[in-house]
Chains A and B, each alone.
Chain A
Amino acid sequence: MAKAGQFFSSGHTNNWAVLVCTSRFWFNYRHVANTLSVYRSVKRLGIPDSHIVLMLADDMACNHRNPKPATVFSHKNMELNVYGDDVEVDYRGYEVTVENFLRVLTGRLPPSTPRSKRLLSDDRSNILIYLTGHGGNGFLKFQDSEEISNVELADAFEQMWTKRRYNELLFIIDTCQGASMYERFYSPNIMALASSQVGEDSLSHQPDLAIGVHLMDRYTFYLLEFLEDIHPSSTTNMKDLFKVCPKSQCVSTPGHRTDLFLRDPGSVLITDFFGSVRKVEITTDTINLTAPMVHLEDTRPVRELRTEIQTYMDQLPVAEIIHQKPKQKDWHPPDGFILGLWTLILLVFFKTYGIKHLKHIF
């Protein structure tokens, strides 16, 4: 009975993934390959297609320039075809727009939208959001014609929090200056990773001369390598994910943000976000569940915010949940001082030039 409490230590009951590739054109092959590699890992670890929203802005596999049609490779010498036989793309080509992406996140879709195109998450869902493409300081370029800014994204996540559309969110972005995209987040329970800091470019990994393009970006390449070692029952935690692709391999400095996340990253399993894991223990004994559930006490000191993971009931305003550093305001001299200073100046003026000049001013 006490073990029943163990099952809900992470607080989520289902997993979703939103994987977005935002660039089109043949020379952006690597962004599609990035997204498909993450898709592949996520599917392998158990999240079904019905819980994955895959958005690819261009069709590389069937591009006329692809010398190996119907394939998208992530390793050169064609070791790994991430396109495979059972890829299910939900938003394709020109459907990948900022508006559609935000509508998917916030759930404000027209009633006619099919289920496969919706993010039907609830307050017990852990969502993985992966974005890749071309980006800059504070924006991500969609389809060569529009951009999504970090403020818009932060507001979308806040809408998701208010509408109780997620339990915890893992946000990974692999673009140039990716860290700028997570700077503005202010909703709780979000952990973010980026492939490069502001002012740095994320570099591509390897060109394939037979195909004639770069196949993957460095960060996602090493992320894929890392994920290939994960299996559904791994206990690898987020701290290992933060170590993926150090500067020596990536040339850019990957960054992460955990201040909005309420659990300790070391206790968060990779499979909490990348897989869809059920803790199933088969027993032939009957368990009496009449008594209310007792949460297992951790050995770690209990923080007052601990209880908020499981419940939305006493939702405090966000500002009180997150204790941010007070903003530095510029120092002004006090108002009285300025008033006194001006009075002094006027007095000196009238003393020197006489009171009769007062009429020139008033």
Chain B
Amino acid sequence: MGLLSDPNRRRALTNLLTRLNAPICVVCYLAGVMWFMGLAFEPFTLRTYMSENAMGSTMVEEHFPAGERALATGREFAAHKKKVGGMPVNWLVKTMESRGLEVFTQSFTRKLPFPDENKERYLVRGTNVYGILRAPRASRTEALVLTAPCSQGNANNQAVGLLLGLAQYFRSQVYWAKDIIFLVNEHDLIGMQAWLEGYHHTNTTGGDWSPLHGRGGSIQASLSLELSSDVITSLDLVLEGLNGQLPNLDLANLFHAFCQKIGVLCTIQGKLQRNDWESTSGYSHSAQTMMLMVLKQASGRPWGDHGLFLRYHIEAATIRGINSFRQYKTDTTTIGRLLEGMYRKLNNLLERLHQSYFFYLMPSLTRFVSIGYYMPAFGLLAVILLLRALDLWVQLGASAPGTEDGLAEREQSPSSPGVLSILTPVVISHMTGVALYCLPVMSQEMAVQHFPVSETEAVVLTAIAIYTAGLALPHNTHRLLQGEGTEHGWRVLKLVALLYLAVLLGCTALINFSLGFILALSLVPIAAFITPHTHKPLSAAIMVLLSPGCTLLYCVLIFQELQETPVSLQDGWMLFLSVISQGILDHSLYGSLVYPLLALLIYPCWLLLWNILFWK
């Protein structure tokens, strides 16, 4: 007889499973964490290399001469910006036209669901200005984009100046096979979202913008430039985009190749590369860089203007110029040459970048870990959930009165009285989740009337209030429940919760590995070991400490620590509140999925487990 259908053998297997379950779970958890930490260890990573044949090596000659003129243009731009008090649309249009581009503008309006305290805006009205450099001999089927944001104050003036300087230089070359679109967007991400939606004729986030009159074909790649000083010491590359999406690794390889050729220092996450991977400090440096990338990816927000392009399958990255206290300074002409070289190589592309990896983690700019190497870390954590689910299944099967015949009988008995009893907690948890998703934004007016808080604070505090109110649920729902507070009942509920969590985390990890892994790190232990019979106060405390909200708080604190700007608990708490409000805003403005995921799916899952803990 077969392995699983022979009752003796099955009994032996299930005994083994039950006996060894807890140890295997612990081992898997530790193995998962160690695998993840080991990803930053240099011998386990691969060196980056150019995969796209068409881009080849850095085999171009860069001739861009006009760095100083670009800085002068930047200063003019700054003056006009101050005069107008916003985006100097007319001046930009005139300047771009004088450089021989086809210039168009787009105006947009956006009302945020509640005021954004970080950027101090509520009703946003702006204009994007873009000029298209038509390829001299090619048909208008493909395009490349170079963008610089129009920021308030003195930020990014040099970026716009360099953009205009490059536009003038590019216009005099004959070798462009794709149109190049030079875009200056106002109100950074909101303007960029409006432009992209207008370009692709979609309206996913409900903004109000005028249609675009000029188009350049399908966009193959895009670079966003942020430059706020006349000279820089290093260039930082930002890759993380909306919902943790990353551009093709070839774009990062291209950037690094050119930085090396021209001799500019390049960093990722603001950290330089180190050569001493054997030492502890070297390893911790790589681990810090990787953790920063993981945290940024998990937050699901675009970390540069490029982040919104990725959704349209356009490979994009942000290049940020940093001026720190180093001896060797790089001037604008060199940055211009670097961008010229990159654009010439992107010009040689025949198809979209697709040869290299789309899912990767980078412990440093020259080393990467691909999805095949980092997924097992998550897999080990997910296995714990499946093992516990199997264990519960076995327990449920053993406890039900069953005959010698197969599984059919056993399936019947647990499910029929069980379904209704577990349906109630599931429905109530999800309703709380829906409340957590909808109520904060909807009820801000009411909250502002009754309490002396601003709208943003109202939204955030309502969210936290609903979150904490969910903790009281088990005591209240038991009044509604008819009974069925049996051993059997909570086991079925836990089985459902474990499988639900496994599927949820699995799907999340596929799309955004960092988010899935961080949630798994905190939720898997509590999901695995929570039962009504554990020591209630201690388990309750651990559950609250490992709940999604507190995980978010820890992530904020760790992120600040890694950025080398550690905060006290007080400031950390304020930062935490602002992170919540930014998450809600990102969701409504750009379609970030982190907030709905946490509110509608992860939080109800956690509530189910909380219900199991207080099962009577």
B16 on the A face (CB < 8 A)? no
**Is the Cβ of B174 less than 8 Å from the Cβ of A26?**
no
Chain A contacts with B in 188-223, Cβ cutoff 8 A: 207, 209-210, 212-214
**Is the Cβ of A67 less than 8 Å from the Cβ of B174?**
yes
A188 to chain B, nearest CB (A): 40
Q: In the bound complex, what is the Cα–Cα distance between A63 and B344 (angstroms)? A: 14
A66: B residues at CB distance < 8 A: 175
B90 to chain A, nearest CB (A): 34
Chain B contacts with A in 48-89, Cβ cutoff 8 A: 53-54, 56-57, 59-61
Q: Which of A27, A64, A65, A69 contacts B56 (CB 8 A)?
A: A27
A349 on the B face (CB < 8 A)? no
B344: A residues at CB distance < 8 A: 212
B57: A residues at CB distance < 8 A: 207
Chain A contacts with B in 59-86, Cβ cutoff 8 A: 62-67, 69
Q: Which of A63, A67, A209, A213 contacts B173 (CB 8 A)?
A: A67
A25 on the B face (CB < 8 A)? yes
Q: Which of A64, A67, A209 contacts B135 (CB 8 A)?
A: A64
**Is the Cβ of B60 less than 8 Å from the Cβ of A212?**
yes
Q: In the bound complex, what is the Cα–Cα distance between A27 and B60 (angstroms)? A: 13
B135: A residues at CB distance < 8 A: 64
Q: In the bound complex, what is the Cα–Cα distance between A307 and B232 (angstroms)? A: 80
Q: Which of A25, A64, A212 contacts B59 (CB 8 A)?
A: A212
A64-B137, A64-B177, A66-B175 known; A210-B61 Cβ under 8 A? yes
B173: A residues at CB distance < 8 A: 67
**Is the Cβ of A67 less than 8 Å from the Cβ of B348?**
no
A214: B residues at CB distance < 8 A: 59
A147 to chain B, nearest CB (A): 18
A64: B residues at CB distance < 8 A: 135-138, 175-177
Q: Which of A25, A67, A207, A209 contacts B175 (CB 8 A)?
A: A67
Q: Which residue of A lies closest to B139 (CB)?
A: A64
Q: Which residue of A lies closest to B173 (CB)?
A: A67
Chain B contacts with A in 329-374, Cβ cutoff 8 A: 344, 347-348, 350
A26-B54, A27-B54 known; A209-B137 Cβ under 8 A? no
Q: Which of A65, A207, A209 contacts B177 (CB 8 A)?
A: A65
Number of interface residues of A (CB under 8 A): 16
A-B contacts counted at CB < 8 A amount to 43
B350: A residues at CB distance < 8 A: 25-26
A79 to chain B, nearest CB (A): 17
**Is the Cβ of A213 less than 8 Å from the Cβ of B137?**
no
A25-B54, A26-B54, A27-B53 known; A65-B348 Cβ under 8 A? yes
B60: A residues at CB distance < 8 A: 209, 212
B348: A residues at CB distance < 8 A: 26-27, 65, 212
Q: In the bound complex, what is the Cα–Cα distance between A210 and B60 (angstroms)? A: 6
Q: In the bound complex, what is the Cα–Cα distance between A69 and B138 (angstroms)? A: 12
- Of A27, A207, A213, chain B has the most CB atoms within 10 Å of the CB of A27
B412 to chain A, nearest CB (A): 52
**Is the Cβ of A69 less than 8 Å from the Cβ of B137?**
yes
A207: B residues at CB distance < 8 A: 57, 59
**Is the Cβ of A65 less than 8 Å from the Cβ of B175?**
yes
Q: Which residue of A lies closest to B53 (CB)?
A: A27
Q: In the bound complex, what is the Cα–Cα distance between A145 and B543 (angstroms)? A: 59
- Decide if the interface of chain A is mainly helix, strand, loop or mixed: loop
A62: B residues at CB distance < 8 A: 137
A27-B54, A64-B135, A212-B348 known; A69-B174 Cβ under 8 A? yes
A65: B residues at CB distance < 8 A: 175, 177, 347-348
Q: In the bound complex, what is the Cα–Cα distance between A62 and B174 (angstroms)? A: 11
A144 to chain B, nearest CB (A): 10
A67: B residues at CB distance < 8 A: 173-175
A65-B177, A67-B174 known; A209-B61 Cβ under 8 A? yes
B596 to chain A, nearest CB (A): 44
Q: In the bound complex, what is the Cα–Cα distance between A6 and B54 (angstroms)? A: 54
B61: A residues at CB distance < 8 A: 209-210, 212
A134 to chain B, nearest CB (A): 10
Q: In the bound complex, what is the Cα–Cα distance between A25 and B56 (angstroms)? A: 13
Q: In the bound complex, what is the Cα–Cα distance between A227 and B420 (angstroms)? A: 90
A212: B residues at CB distance < 8 A: 59-61, 175, 344, 348
Q: Which residue of B lies closest to A24 (CB)?
A: B350
What 1/0 mask marks residues of chain A from 76 to 107 whose CB sits below 8 Å from any chain B CB? 00000000000000000000000000000000
Q: In the bound complex, what is the Cα–Cα distance between A22 and B176 (angstroms)? A: 25
Q: Which residue of A lies closest to B176 (CB)?
A: A64
B347 to chain A, nearest CB (A): 6
Q: In the bound complex, what is the Cα–Cα distance between A25 and B174 (angstroms)? A: 18
Q: Which residue of A lies closest to B61 (CB)?
A: A209
Q: In the bound complex, what is the Cα–Cα distance between A199 and B564 (angstroms)? A: 53
Chain B contacts with A in 168-187, Cβ cutoff 8 A: 173-177
Q: In the bound complex, what is the Cα–Cα distance between A62 and B137 (angstroms)? A: 9
A167 to chain B, nearest CB (A): 41
Q: In the bound complex, what is the Cα–Cα distance between A64 and B175 (angstroms)? A: 6
B54: A residues at CB distance < 8 A: 25-27
Q: In the bound complex, what is the Cα–Cα distance between A69 and B344 (angstroms)? A: 16
Q: Which residue of B lies closest to A65 (CB)?
A: B177
- Of A64, A69, A213, chain B has the most CB atoms within 10 Å of the CB of A64
A25 to chain B, nearest CB (A): 6
A146 to chain B, nearest CB (A): 18
Q: List 15 A-B contacts (CB under 8 A).
A: A26-B54, A26-B348, A27-B53, A27-B56, A27-B348, A64-B135, A64-B136, A64-B176, A65-B177, A67-B173, A207-B57, A209-B59, A212-B59, A212-B348, A213-B56
Task: Beyond the given A25-B54, A69-B137, please list 14 additional residue pairs across the A-B interface where CB-CB is below 8 A.
Answer: A25-B350, A26-B54, A62-B137, A63-B177, A64-B136, A67-B173, A207-B59, A210-B61, A212-B60, A212-B344, A212-B348, A213-B56, A213-B59, A214-B59
- Which residues of A approach B to under 8 Å, CB–CB? 25-27, 62-67, 69, 207, 209-210, 212-214
- Which residues of B approach A to under 8 Å, CB–CB? 53-54, 56-57, 59-61, 135-138, 173-177, 344, 347-348, 350
Q: Which 10 A-B pairs have the closest CB atoms?
A: A64-B177, A209-B61, A64-B138, A67-B175, A212-B60, A207-B59, A65-B177, A64-B137, A27-B54, A65-B175
